[in-house]
Amino acid sequence: MELTLHVRGRIGGGMVIAVHGDLDFAAVDRFRACVERALQPPPGILYLDLQLVTFIDSSGVGALVALRQQAERAATRLVLENPSDTLRHTLRTAGVLDSFDVPPA
C-alpha cells in the first residue's frame, strides 16, 4: 500500500504526522524528508500517528531510529502514537521499542 503522510498542528502545541500505508524501502525517503521538514523549525514535540501503518520493514525501523536522533538534536520530543501490536512487536524484536516515547495502548 502506498504511503501517505498528513501533517497538521496539534491543539496545545507540537506537530502531528499521520502515517498511512507501508513504511518500507520504497517510501522511506519520502517519510524521512517529511519528518525532517516538520523539525524545521523545531516544534518542541512531534507526534507520529502510526495507527494506519500497515507494514514496516528494516528500512522503516532504521528511519524511525535516525529520526529520533535528529529530533533529539533539535530539542524535540518524538512520540510514536497508536502503533499497532504488530508494529510494537517489530520494534521490540529490533530492540528499539524502549528507546521511543510510546504512550500505553
Q: Total domain count for the chain?
A: 1
Q: Is the pLDDT of residue 18 over 90?
A: yes
pLDDT in tens, 25-50: 999 999 999 999 999 999 999 999 99
The reply to whether 89 falls in a domain is: yes
Of the chain, the percentage scoring pLDDT greater than 90 comes to 91
Please identify which residue in the block is written with the cell numbers 533529539. 72
71-75 average pLDDT score: 96
CA distances from 78 to 1, 2, 49, 68 (A): 25, 24, 11, 6
Residue 87 confidence class, pLDDT cut points 50, 70, 90: very high
Domain of residue 70, CATH code:
3.30.750.24
72-92 average pLDDT score: 95
Give me the chain's average pLDDT, please: 95
The reply to whether 105 falls in a domain is: no
The reply to whether 38 falls in a domain is: yes
Q: Is the pLDDT of residue 105 over 80?
A: no
How much is the pLDDT for 42? Answer: 93
Closest of 22, 8, 81 to residue 48, by C-alpha: 81
Domain that holds residue 15: 4-99
